Amino acid sequence: DTAVSQTPKYLVTQMGNDKSIKCEQNLGHDTMYWYKQDSKKFLKIMFSYNNKELIINETVPNRFSPKSPDKAHLNLHINSLELGDSAVYFCASSQDLGDRGSGELFFGEGSRLTVL
């Protein structure tokens, strides 16, 4: 069974559209994250939830809205998509938050978003 699964894996859409990416983890972890990986392969934190509570909210346009219905799910909704939103978005989970414990991140396979 996949530990962290996200859907869809590929998403191609037009500018101005609204889209969602879903993420689920079956590891029993308390913390989930969304990362954005740009064309230079640099991973940048967007959001972090701990037990459904928003912990980290980086300087991300408010067109991006995370939703955590329970601690096993963290979805990402993006409104009014722009060309610059094209990237690979990774969902991740960890048992601990930040420096508490080992902090190992378990990543999903990524969702490649292409905005035309």
Partner 1 sequence: KNQVEQSPQSLIILEGKNCTLQCNYTVSPFSNLRWYKQDTGRGPVSLTIMTFSENTKSNGRYTATLDADTKQSSLHITASQLSDSASYICVVSGMGFQKLVFGTGTRLLVSP
Contacts to partner 1 by CB under 8 A: 4, 40-45, 48, 55-56, 90, 92, 97-99, 102-105, 107-110
Please state whether beta strands 111-115 and 106-107 pair in parallel, antiparallel, or not at all (unpaired).
Answer: unpaired
- Specify the residue, 6 or 75, whose C-beta has the smaller distance to partner 1: 6
Least Å from the CB of residue 110 to partner 1: 6
CB contact at 8 A, 6 and 111 = yes
- Specify the residue, 16 or 44, whose C-beta has the smaller distance to partner 1: 44
Least Å from the CB of residue 61 to partner 1: 19
DSSP at 51 = T
CA dihedral 99, 60, 81, 115 (to 10 degrees): -50
- Specify the residue, 51 or 80, whose C-beta has the smaller distance to partner 1: 51
CB contact at 8 A, 26 and 11 = no
CB contact at 8 A, 92 and 72 = no
Least Å from the CB of residue 16 to partner 1: 28
Least Å from the CB of residue 91 to partner 1: 8
